[in-house]
Amino acid sequence: MIEVGRVCLKIAGRDSNLKCAIIDVLDDKTVMIDGQTRRKKCNIKHLEPLNSVVKIKKGATHSEVVKELEKIGIKVVEKEKKAKPKTQKPVKKRNIKDKPIEAEKPKKKTKK
């Protein structure tokens, strides 16, 4: 029942009630999912398999998964990344002190 390409409904966590496709079976309890959810490792207890299967390869990219899900009528909304303006770090002003010119100091006498 759990196979690469199986469309599932996420039933737990912050991505609950979103559809996803299995892109890799990691072990008997966990799989890698992608689709309307974030691409991440997921416990199979948190998934409800649906009847549909999409044709994707093991480890498919996000764009490949989106294309296949749209073919069967599941719309995936891409989240736009906001470009943050680059902030300048404040420049520290260096304190430059004028050093007075000193005469050469006499050498200390050392005992031999």
Please check whether residue 30 lies inside any domain of the structure: yes
Domain annotation covers residue 102 = no
- Is 43 inside any structural domain? yes
pTM value?
Answer: 0.68
DSSP category for residue 55: -
Per-residue pLDDT of the chain (112 residues; tens, 9 = 90+): 889 999 999 999 998 999 999 999 999 999 999 999 989 999 999 999 999 999 999 989 999 999 999 999 999 888 787 888 888 888 888 877 766 666 677 777 777 6
Within a 10 A sphere around the Cβ of 15, how many other Cβ atoms? 18
Q: pLDDT tens for residues 73-97?
A: 999 888 787 888 888 888 888 877 7
Please check whether residue 22 lies inside any domain of the structure: yes
In 3D, which of 14, 19, 12 has the Cα closest to residue 70?
19
Dist CA 82 CA 20 (whole Å) = 24
Pick from 8, 67, 15, 66: which is nearest to 38 by CA?
15
Q: Residue 15 maps to which CATH number? A: 2.30.30.30
Residue 40 belongs to domain spanning: 6-71
Residue 53 lies in a domain: yes
